[in-house]
Structure 1
């Protein structure tokens, strides 16, 4: 047999053969190119501003005769670690999927996404549609050879950078905590201002209010009574409102800063990508800084208030710090409302020390303000249970008719969509305003118009654009809410159809499945 080494290989170069269409894109046609940029609020320099990036991408794309600019999408001041709040980014992706864009240009992977999973998800999604993403800094074309492999490596590095930056920031904050350095936002509680050195100083006018709240609580007043008194006296809250709430009073009575201390790391970040925070219930260390600043009240007074809070909670059968558990302890909690004044009904126990004791539900307005404010009488808990059993049995006996009527009513609501003409008008106006904004920016870049005139016009156009987008978002929310309504209907029907007989006694599980609000109009 002849050896292969004796064969003389001949190599012929086959020239590129022009084709009319590549991945659905007609050769000779201009590529529709979009640019995506993200401007951090921490970077004030001109080269990172939205206007300069508009100029950069306008120039870059206009230099290519085979490209045409579709739009420039910009998210302002939002972290790149999550896409949920990057509205312009998501709008760009949607328009890519709608076939309006052939290519996306962006400065770098970190501007596109610092989350590897998101980055690869969207790149692959666009790649399946034949849409390239070009990263300028890394010089990566995702449709090019080896583009995705390199992108995976670099985006992983970008995510590690975000994680490392988060760890460094957290480490720096913890070192400050350990050294006793405290940064406190005084806009969130009354009683203190900050001096030029950033130290807490007592605001005497507000401090009197703080002392009043602590004193009145120890004198026996409830959160509600204290709040009503402050509202009546037209005292303003920390946000400038004159309406006070129970929760505000409760928060003030638990604020350790009023006796001169500062408890640090009450909340922690549980995910560096989503920035989600949660209450620190022992997952991480806390830092208590005593004598951090001048106190408004004595520590002994603060501790007396905490003891009194615990005493009152125990009287109600509640555990301190377990308010949610208490609120859902009884089936009617948070669900029974007064048909006279609209306030919630509260559970009360009458004659609790003798054999004739009974549980009733009574209007909160009547309890707090008396019968002159609301004349609704208390309702026996057994009467509420019996009323639900009767109502359910009537529904069950006529369930076919009930289900038919309810289904028709909800389907009618679901079919009611926002006026399509109004939606289209909003979309058209949004496009007009976007174009006006781009023209204004480009005119400013090339003609250097008076900054005051430019700023005023920019503010006017961008303000209207934001308003139009809010209205458009409301239309989308209405449509989305229909899904929740349909799901609720399915839950109700499943509960009714799962029964094979009438109720003989109150069933808490069925009550919770069917009832969201229980309106009660008792005898006057």
Structure 2
């Protein structure tokens, strides 16, 4: 640059201009205003403009997305200009570390740097570099303060139930009024999109998987808010979005630009929204219950043609049995596929660890449905099952009653010991420090016994100690069998894996017993009337014959 001046030649410069989307409307920040000011300066100081590098609508915190900046740095490396001029320092970078890195790299290629409105900094001198560092730090502090204030405003909007994000599928943003950059908006339901959202929730609550729902929507020509085909992730995001049930959630993730999904916030802001919900609360709760259940169990267990995958237990090692396939031939020599359930441990580790113990798919599944019908059709079988439930319940209560007697005796013994220690202390027969430490230990033991007494009392009280009525068991199994009979394959498998905990197979490849667990949530969501309308496309496990009996605790039934 000095050589150019000495030869009285004009300086060849590069102009760098940047404006983010949020700054487009700010006075003096526009692309045109920056370029005009920089061109006037070059004309007045005999500088020749090599090129204008412009990043429009891009934040200053991003380095990789600023393609014009990358091109300018490449041209600087080639020696195509000797100086870079910007309108303000924060146009080049918002973060001080990025600013210093860019200026240092320019300096390495003998390219100077100048700010039009902060012209006191000459980066060719140590004092100028120091001043630039101070100015960059002030600029970054100013940016951080702006972001903090903006974040406070967004948090307050979320707490009052106002939206901060783009409208999701099913809604559109309507501008009520506008003053400058400040807009007063509301979310309005888009009926045709809302129907798609409700369909997704109803299908999922009916037992359909994410892939099945996405395929169904794409087959019918539906698209996401951005006009793309539905994917598993798109369906999943809709099912997890509480906005559809009338809630506003903000700050689910922290520092998204760097951490992405790893920056999950344990305490996001959740409030009642000011918008109209699309999904009924009951349907939302049902979908949430299924999402939670499937989050801890492999999706393969819930979906596919093999209904009992993971439910059948190997008679040799107790591992879950999974599907396998063989190809036999009929009398004409044509291949006939046959499906079996086989020990998963044998399939993964080999025959040295366990045997296949295969049971045919149709045999196992037919037995399940036949057994359910048999139990309902023959009252004496069900009465025997109910009797067994109550006998096991009674036998489990006896040890608790004995433990309660022991706990009560222990409590009384501790009270007596404390009284004796207090009497000895008052008679000055024991050291006070010893007595105090001993009483402290007795108080700790006393608290533990009282806590255990309360637990046992709860287990022995109310429904925990009362016999299970025959009518309750009959109603639960009847509803379960009814839904299985009239559900489609996806629904049927979902029900089986929600209700059945395990199916025991004998070594001669026969089903020995089926263990079912009913609790208030499964009963409420799947054995009562459907929360969605009865004439919906999938029905969401419809059952119109009254309400299932209330369950205060989980009930295990083995048939």
- TM-score norm. by structure 2 comes to 0.49
Does 2:239 match 1:259? Answer: no
CA distance in structure 2 between the partners assigned to 1:218 and 1:53 by the alignment: 56
CA distance in structure 2 between the partners assigned to 1:313 and 1:125 by the alignment: 49
Q: Give the C-alpha shift of residue 26 in structure 1.
A: 6.6
CA distance in structure 1 between the partners assigned to 2:244 and 2:43 by the alignment: 62
SS in structure 1 opposite 2:110? coil
CA distance in structure 1 between the partners assigned to 2:265 and 2:312 by the alignment: 41
Does 2:279 match 1:297? Answer: yes
Q: Give the C-alpha shift of residue 382 in structure 1.
A: 7.4
CA distance in structure 2 between the partners assigned to 1:317 and 1:229 by the alignment: 18
What is the match of residue 220 of structure 2?
233
Q: Deviations over 1:363-396 (max 9, x none)?
A: 9xxxxxxxxxxx999999978989xxxxxxxxxx
SS in structure 1 opposite 2:151? helix
For residues 319-468 of structure 1, the aligned pairs below 5 Å read 352-355=313-316
Q: Give the C-alpha shift of residue 181 in structure 1.
A: 3.2
SS in structure 1 opposite 2:80? coil
What is the match of residue 265 of structure 2?
282
CA distance in structure 1 between the partners assigned to 2:338 and 2:89 by the alignment: 64
Q: Deviations over 1:322-351 (max 9, x none)?
A: xxxxxxxxxxxxxxxxxxxxxxxxxx6695
Say if 1:61 and 1:69, in contact at 8 Å, map to a contact too.
Answer: yes
Q: Deviations over 1:100-157 (max 9, x none)?
A: 2212222221122222112222222333443221222111221146211111111111
Say if 1:135 and 1:141, in contact at 8 Å, map to a contact too.
Answer: no
Q: Deviations over 1:18-60 (max 9, x none)?
A: xxx9579873444322222223433347954434544443443
CA distance in structure 2 between the partners assigned to 1:156 and 1:69 by the alignment: 29
Say if 1:223 and 1:249, in contact at 8 Å, map to a contact too.
Answer: yes
Aligned mate of 2:53, from 50, 73, 97: 73
What is the match of residue 195 of structure 2?
208
CA distance in structure 1 between the partners assigned to 2:254 and 2:123 by the alignment: 37
CA distance in structure 1 between the partners assigned to 2:221 and 2:72 by the alignment: 49
CA distance in structure 2 between the partners assigned to 1:376 and 1:72 by the alignment: 71
- Structure 2, unaligned runs of 5 or more: 177-183, 302-308, 326-336, 351-559
Does 2:147 match 1:147? Answer: no
Q: Give the C-alpha shift of residue 289 in structure 1.
A: 1.7
Q: CA RMSD in A?
A: 3.9
Q: Deviations over 1:70-114 (max 9, x none)?
A: 222221122223322222222222222222221222222112222
Q: Deviations over 1:445-486 (max 9, x none)?
A: xxxxxxxxxxxxxxxxxxxxxxxxxxxxxxxxxxxxxxxxxx
- TM-score norm. by structure 1 comes to 0.52
Q: From the superposition, tell whether residues 232 and 130 of structure 1 become closer, same or farther in structure 2 (CA, over 3 Å).
A: closer
CA distance in structure 2 between the partners assigned to 1:282 and 1:144 by the alignment: 46
CA distance in structure 2 between the partners assigned to 1:192 and 1:299 by the alignment: 21
What is the match of residue 98 of structure 1?
78
CA distance in structure 2 between the partners assigned to 1:259 and 1:45 by the alignment: 37
SS in structure 2 opposite 1:200? strand
Q: Give the C-alpha shift of residue 160 in structure 1.
A: 0.8
SS in structure 1 opposite 2:156? helix
CA distance in structure 2 between the partners assigned to 1:259 and 1:173 by the alignment: 21
Q: Give the C-alpha shift of residue 279 in structure 1.
A: 6.0
CA distance in structure 2 between the partners assigned to 1:47 and 1:199 by the alignment: 31
How many residue pairs end up in the alignment?
Answer: 321
- With 160-169 and 293-302 compared, the bigger mean Cα shift is at 293-302
What is the match of residue 205 of structure 2?
218
CA distance in structure 1 between the partners assigned to 2:26 and 2:152 by the alignment: 28
SS in structure 1 opposite 2:12? strand
What is the match of residue 185 of structure 1?
166
Say if 2:20 and 2:60, in contact at 8 Å, map to a contact too.
Answer: no
CA distance in structure 2 between the partners assigned to 1:293 and 1:266 by the alignment: 19
Q: Deviations over 1:277-303 (max 9, x none)?
A: 5566335x4222226333333212211
What is the match of residue 3 of structure 1?
none
Does 2:16 match 1:36? Answer: yes
Which ranges of 4 or more aligned residues in structure 1 deviate by more than 6 Å?
A: 23-26, 356-363, 375-386
Instruction: Answer with 1 or 2: which has the greater Rg.
Output: 2
- With 40-49 and 245-254 compared, the bigger mean Cα shift is at 40-49
CA distance in structure 2 between the partners assigned to 1:305 and 1:45 by the alignment: 45
Q: Give the C-alpha shift of residue 161 in structure 1.
A: 0.9
Q: From the superposition, tell whether residues 39 and 382 of structure 1 become closer, same or farther in structure 2 (CA, over 3 Å).
A: same
SS in structure 2 opposite 1:146? helix
Q: From the superposition, tell whether residues 171 and 275 of structure 1 become closer, same or farther in structure 2 (CA, over 3 Å).
A: farther
Aligned mate of 2:231, from 221, 245, 258: 245
CA distance in structure 1 between the partners assigned to 2:264 and 2:321 by the alignment: 35
What is the match of residue 86 of structure 1?
66
Say if 2:169 and 2:197, in contact at 8 Å, map to a contact too.
Answer: no
Say if 2:16 and 2:54, in contact at 8 Å, map to a contact too.
Answer: yes
- Structure 1, unaligned runs of 5 or more: 1-20, 320-347, 364-374, 387-524
Q: From the superposition, tell whether residues 235 and 314 of structure 1 become closer, same or farther in structure 2 (CA, over 3 Å).
A: same
Q: From the superposition, tell whether residues 384 and 44 of structure 1 become closer, same or farther in structure 2 (CA, over 3 Å).
A: same
Does 2:153 match 1:172? Answer: yes
Q: Give the C-alpha shift of residue 201 in structure 1.
A: 3.4
What is the match of residue 130 of structure 1?
110
Q: From the superposition, tell whether residues 45 and 30 of structure 1 become closer, same or farther in structure 2 (CA, over 3 Å).
A: same
CA distance in structure 2 between the partners assigned to 1:376 and 1:134 by the alignment: 78
CA distance in structure 1 between the partners assigned to 2:171 and 2:15 by the alignment: 49
Aligned mate of 1:160, from 138, 141, 166: 141
Q: From the superposition, tell whether residues 383 and 71 of structure 1 become closer, same or farther in structure 2 (CA, over 3 Å).
A: same
